[in-house]
């Protein structure tokens, strides 16, 4: 890609400007000059994700004489023996969006490096995280240089530095960061994330790392929003009860879209934060409480450990409903009420059951079998108490 570096102005501390591709403004930059000679670049357009880091280096290499960039003092960096021989600079490009953090760095003409900041689960040993990181980086044309652990605001973090074996696009690095985050949380990696591991990522605000990877299945479903009319109320209660009646519990993410591929598989594809959705019926915190009230009023018995919580992401707020795996002796979970002519009639009830990626009504025969099975379990329990 042919990039043009344009100087927009100078002040006492730095030079600043923009980087263009044709008529598209992609990046903003500023250079702090002597003694650090550090050049910082920030992405200002989505199209910048397709740019190769090498193209940025080439564009600035051509522009250095025109910008009159000063060369830092080599005494401060004794490891750079060629610093005096080649008037180059420290170039840093940072990416900090969608809960993904990484920076490209190029110092004195050496091969670029990428540093990823990856939140991790302490349940995954350091040696295992290192092995997984090495494999992921190699598949993306990078070689692991170092790993360092530190504490962030909410979670432990790995700073993973890698050398670029081949030129990288920003989108390549973003994909790699997404894989590293999943690998740092999944105990059973490279298999799919478990329900508990997915819940951990969601609660950390790392929802966007799951985009393009997490599919709807027996324990996960996603909805763009909820409607609190009669039909929407009953449907939400069914959405929760289906997971409670299933074998694994479940997660319902509200404020996200899925996309269906040619094989009919629904994959999490986009966040639609509720606090930025004009169709959301209530402020997010109040909506979460309304959903808790629906569960209490329309599901019997109420699933043990049910949690409906607001989650903050870099894009905005979503709601996550977590239904733990339920004991057999408390099933089935019954939804009372059905929407009839715009009103809820509580003389109706249903027992929804989760299929692979949706819920299905239970037939009268199945209802009888479920209720009869529960009666037998209660009788056995009572007989055990009498004995």
* DSSP state letters, 169-188: BHHHHHHHHHHHHHHTT-TT
Quote the pLDDT of residue 97.
64
Transcribe 194-262 into DSSP letters: PHHHHHHHHHTT-GGGGTTT-B-BTTEEEES----SHHHHHHHHHHHHHHHHSSS-EEEEESEEEEE-T
More reliable by pLDDT, 86 or 58: 58
Quote the pLDDT of residue 233.
96
Highest-scoring range by mean pLDDT, 73-77, 166-170, 272-276, 381-385? 272-276
Helix (H) or strand (E) holding 323: strand 317-323
In sequence order, what are the beta bridge partners of 374? none
Beta carbons within 10 angstroms of residue 39's beta carbon: 23
- Calculate helix-pair angle for 284-298, 230-245, nearest 10 degrees: 70
Instruction: Evaluate if residue 346 carries a pLDDT over 80.
Output: yes
Q: What burial class does residue 282 get, using C-beta atoms within 10 Å of its C-beta: 0-12 exposed, 13-18 middle, 19+ buried?
A: middle
For the segment 17-26, the average pLDDT, to the nearest whole number, is 86
More reliable by pLDDT, 125 or 98: 125
In sequence order, what are the beta bridge partners of 96? 101
* Conformation bin of residue 370: beta by default, left when phi > 0, alpha when psi is -120 to 50: alpha
User: What is the three-class DSSP state of 272?
Assistant: coil
Q: Classify strands 100-107 and 307-312 as parallel, antiparallel or unpaired.
A: unpaired
Measured CA to CA, the distance from residue 180 to residue 175 in angstroms comes to 9
For the segment 83-90, the average pLDDT, to the nearest whole number, is 43
- Give the least confident one: 82-86, 206-210, 327-331, 368-372: 82-86
Quote the pLDDT of residue 383.
61
Quote the pLDDT of residue 183.
84
Instruction: Evaluate if residue 134 carries a pLDDT over 50.
Output: yes
Q: Which residues touch 73 (CB under 8 Å, ≥6 apart)?
A: 34, 35
223-258 confidence digits (pLDDT tens): 999 999 999 999 999 999 999 999 899 999 999 999
More reliable by pLDDT, 375 or 212: 212
User: What is the three-class DSSP state of 151?
Assistant: strand
More reliable by pLDDT, 64 or 45: 45
Quote the pLDDT of residue 26.
86
Beta carbons within 10 angstroms of residue 220's beta carbon: 24
| Torsion (CA) 190, 242, 255, 123 in degrees, nearest 10 | -30
Over the chain, what is the mean pLDDT?
80
- Give the least confident one: 228-242, 259-273, 309-323: 259-273
Quote the pLDDT of residue 375.
58
Helix (H) or strand (E) holding 366: helix 364-386
Highest-scoring range by mean pLDDT, 33-37, 202-206, 332-336? 332-336
Measured CA to CA, the distance from residue 179 to residue 95 in angstroms comes to 16
Instruction: Evaluate if residue 80 carries a pLDDT over 50.
Output: no
Please confirm whether the linkage preceding 301 is cis (ω < 30° from 0): yes
143-188 confidence digits (pLDDT tens): 899 999 887 655 678 899 998 877 788 888 888 888 888 888 887 7
């Amino acid at each position: 890609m042919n990039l043009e570096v344009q100087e927009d102005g100078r002040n006492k501390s730095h030079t600043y400007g923009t980087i263009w591709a044709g008529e598209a403004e992609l990046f903003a930059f500023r250079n702090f000059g002597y003694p650090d000679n550090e050049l910082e670049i920030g992405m200002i357009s989505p199209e910048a994700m397709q740019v190769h880091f090498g193209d940025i280096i080439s564009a600035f290499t051509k522009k250095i004489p025109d910008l009159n960039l000063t060369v830092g003092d080599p005494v401060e960096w004794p490891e750079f023996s060629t610093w005096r021989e080649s008037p180059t600079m420290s170039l840093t490009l940072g990416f900090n969006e969608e809960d993904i953090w990484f920076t490209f760095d190029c110092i004195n003409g050496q091969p670029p490096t990428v540093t990823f900041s990856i939140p991790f689960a302490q349940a995954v040993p350091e040696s295992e995280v290192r092995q997984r990181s090495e494999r992921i980086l190699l598949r993306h044309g990078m070689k692991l240089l170092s790993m360092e652990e530190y504490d962030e605001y909410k979670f432990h973090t790995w700073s993973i530095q890698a050398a670029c074996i081949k030129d990288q696009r920003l989108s390549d690095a973003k994909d790699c960061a997404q894989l590293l985050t999943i690998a740092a949380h999944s105990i059973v990696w490279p298999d799919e994330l478990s329900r508990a591991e997915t819940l951990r990522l969601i609660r950390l605000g790392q929802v966007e790392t799951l985009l393009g990877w997490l599919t709807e299945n027996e324990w996960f479903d996603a909805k763009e929003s909820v409607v609190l009319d009669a039909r929407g109320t009953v449907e939400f209660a069914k959405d929760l009860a289906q997971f409670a009646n299933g074998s694994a519990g479940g997660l319902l993410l509200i404020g996200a879209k899925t996309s269906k591929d040619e094989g009919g598989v629904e994959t999490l594809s986009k966040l639609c934060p509720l606090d930025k959705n004009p169709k959301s019926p209530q402020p997010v915190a109040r909506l979460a409480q309304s959903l808790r009230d629906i569960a209490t009023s329309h599901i019997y018995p109420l699933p043990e450990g049910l949690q409906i919580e607001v989650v903050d992401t870099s894009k905005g707020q979503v709601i996550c409903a977590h239904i733990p795996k339920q004991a057999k002796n408390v099933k089935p979970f019954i939804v009372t009420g059905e929407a009839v002519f715009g009103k809820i009639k509580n003389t109706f009830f249903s027992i929804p059951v989760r299929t692979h990626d949706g819920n299905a009504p239970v037939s009268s025969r199945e209802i009888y079998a479920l209720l009869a099975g529960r009666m037998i379990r209660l009788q056995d329990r009572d007989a055990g108490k009498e004995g």
